């Protein structure tokens, strides 16, 4: 069963880059980042927020009916991205389709709101729907309801590798024959005071005044430069290769023993495991590019680069990341990186990181590896190739 390729037959996303695929690509071609300043109780911070079209789409969904109004934005984001992916795939309502859409933090906005209400009530009361609207299962379940599909509805959190773990799950279901079609991806809306405070407590958040405040992949930086963003991306997957936009031809995962909840080894052992598994059976020199996780932290960026050198040796694929442009979207980040890889394949064009040395592109892009790693030492790598 390992030789079976899985087809990507559609995808949808919302982020600071937009919702329209051509518009997203055009934004990637620009050297400008998508960060703005937003006021929080602790001060003004860099963030990456939905652009206008995406925000209008989410607002429209949130007001469609009373049930949707009660949902957390993570569910709205997931519904918006899933509708786009569904339409591109050309699937019909009422069919058997699995749904696996995860989130690192889940219903962050709703949870903070309901918890504040609870504290302000004197620890007595909270909203009647505070429990169902703050569960992780709330995300995939409402996508399934919105699209009218039958099949497994799975939500999960594996920190920042969540979205690519959803792809792993979908591939396993499809290869096993338990499902013929799957929607998989991630959704994250982390721009809340408590979430920002957590990142600042870890001392990883950017306070840079540089032209590029997130220095993802810059191994010479002297301070951490991670910036949070919001977004969602969902992919329509099936075994029908005749309608593929690209193929998933390798999947890999890895874990490692950690010293504390936010640690990763200097050699990123878990990422080495994931990459080796994903490219098994492929000539390493056939991998044209890697979309790095590279969150913009000193240790995270260096450890991933060490892992790549350990796996690929003297050969170095082209290296890129989108964190410098749209920030770290936690559980959705791997899915948005996968979108970036798909667009590069479709346009046969590599996206350079503007503040790093230019990388010479010597051959057409055929195979791209996408990395994600999260707190807890959980890594995933996905290999995609053009049709």
Buried/exposed code over 322-338 (b: 16+ C-beta within 10 A; e: otherwise): bbbbbbbbbbbbbbbbb
Q: Is 90 exceeded by the pLDDT of residue 167?
A: yes
**Residue % of the chain over a pLDDT of 70:** 98
Cα 308 to chain centroid, rounded = 20
How high is the pLDDT of residue 262? Answer: 53
Where does the pLDDT of residue 2 fall: very low under 50, low under 70, confident under 90, or very high at 90 and above?
low
Where does the pLDDT of residue 20 fall: very low under 50, low under 70, confident under 90, or very high at 90 and above?
very high
DSSP E strands, 239-314 = 246-255, 289-291
CB burial class (10 A; 0-12, 13-18, 19+) of residue 34? buried
Residues 6 or more apart whose Cβ sits within 8 Å of residue 233? 11, 12, 13, 14, 15, 81, 163, 185, 186, 332, 335, 336, 338, 339
Q: What is the mean pLDDT of residues 108-120?
A: 86
What average pLDDT does the structure give for the chain?
93
How high is the pLDDT of residue 258? Answer: 67
Q: Which of 125-129, 138-142, 152-156, 316-320 has the highest mean pLDDT?
A: 316-320
How high is the pLDDT of residue 377? Answer: 82
Span of 306-310, 322-326, 346-350, 374-378 with lowest mean pLDDT: 374-378
How high is the pLDDT of residue 1? Answer: 47
Q: What is the pLDDT of residues 135-154, one digit of tens each?
A: 877 899 999 999 999 899 99
Separation CA 83–CA 146 (nearest Å): 9
Residues 6 or more apart whose Cβ sits within 8 Å of residue 15? 24, 48, 50, 51, 54, 229, 230, 231, 232, 233, 326, 329, 332, 336
Q: What is the pLDDT of residues 100-111, one digit of tens each?
A: 999 999 899 988
Q: Is 80 exceeded by the pLDDT of residue 55?
A: yes
Buried/exposed code over 234-262 (b: 16+ C-beta within 10 A; e: otherwise): bbbbbbeeeebbbbbbbbbbbebeeeeee
Q: What is the pTM of this model?
A: 0.96
Q: Is 70 exceeded by the pLDDT of residue 366?
A: yes
Q: What is the pLDDT of residues 226-248, one digit of tens each?
A: 999 999 999 999 987 788 999 99
Quickly name the fold that domain 6-385 has.
Peroxisomal Thiolase; Chain A, domain 1 (3.40.47)
CB burial class (10 A; 0-12, 13-18, 19+) of residue 92? exposed
How high is the pLDDT of residue 121? Answer: 84
């Amino acid at each position: 069963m390992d030789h079976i390729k899985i087809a990507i037959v559609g995808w949808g996303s919302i982020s600071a880059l937009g919702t329209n695929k051509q518009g997203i690509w055009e934004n990637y071609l620009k050297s400008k980042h998508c960060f703005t300043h937003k006021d929080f109780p602790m001060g003004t911070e860099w963030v990456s927020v939905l652009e206008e079209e995406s925000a209008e789409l989410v607002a429209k969904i949130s007001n469609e009916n009373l049930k949707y109004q009660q949902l957390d934005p993570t569910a709205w984001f997931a519904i918006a991205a899933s509708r786009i992916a569904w339409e591109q795939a050309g699937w019909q309502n009422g069919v058997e389709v699995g749904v696996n859409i995860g989130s690192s933090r889940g219903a962050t906005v709703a949870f903070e709101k309901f918890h504040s209400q609870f504290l302000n009530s004197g620890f007595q009361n909270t909203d009647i729907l505070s429990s169902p609207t703050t569960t992780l299962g709330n995300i995939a379940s409402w996508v399934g309801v919105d699209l009218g599909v039958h099949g497994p509805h799975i939500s999960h959190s594996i920190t920042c590798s969540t979205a690519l773990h959803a792809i792993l799950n979908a591939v396993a279901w499809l290869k096993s024959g338990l499902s013929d079609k799957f929607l998989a991806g991630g959704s994250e809306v982390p721009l809340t005071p408590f979430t920002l405070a957590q990142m600042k407590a870890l001392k990883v958040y950017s306070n840079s005044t540089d032209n590029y405040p997130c220095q993802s992949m810059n191994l010479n930086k002297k301070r951490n430069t991670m910036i949070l963003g919001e977004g969602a991306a969902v992919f329509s997957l099936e075994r029908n290769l005749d309608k593929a936009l690209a193929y998933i031809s390798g999947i890999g995962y890895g874990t490692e023993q950690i010293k504390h909840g936010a640690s990763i080894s200097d050699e990123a052992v878990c990422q080495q495991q994931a990459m080796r598994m994903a490219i098994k059976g492929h000539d390493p020199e056939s991998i044209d590019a890697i979309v790095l996780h590279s969150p913009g932290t000193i240790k995270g960026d260096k450890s991933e680069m060490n892992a790549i050198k350990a796996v690929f040796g003297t050969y170095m694929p082209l290296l890129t990341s989108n964190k410098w442009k749209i920030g770290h979207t936690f559980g959705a980040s791997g899915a948005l990186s996968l979108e970036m890889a798909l667009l590069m394949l479709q346009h046969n064009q590599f996206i350079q990181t503007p503040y790093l040395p230019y990388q010479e592109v010597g051959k057409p892009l055929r195979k791209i590896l996408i990395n994600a790693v999260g707190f807890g030492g959980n890594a995933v790598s996905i290999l995609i190739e053009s049709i």
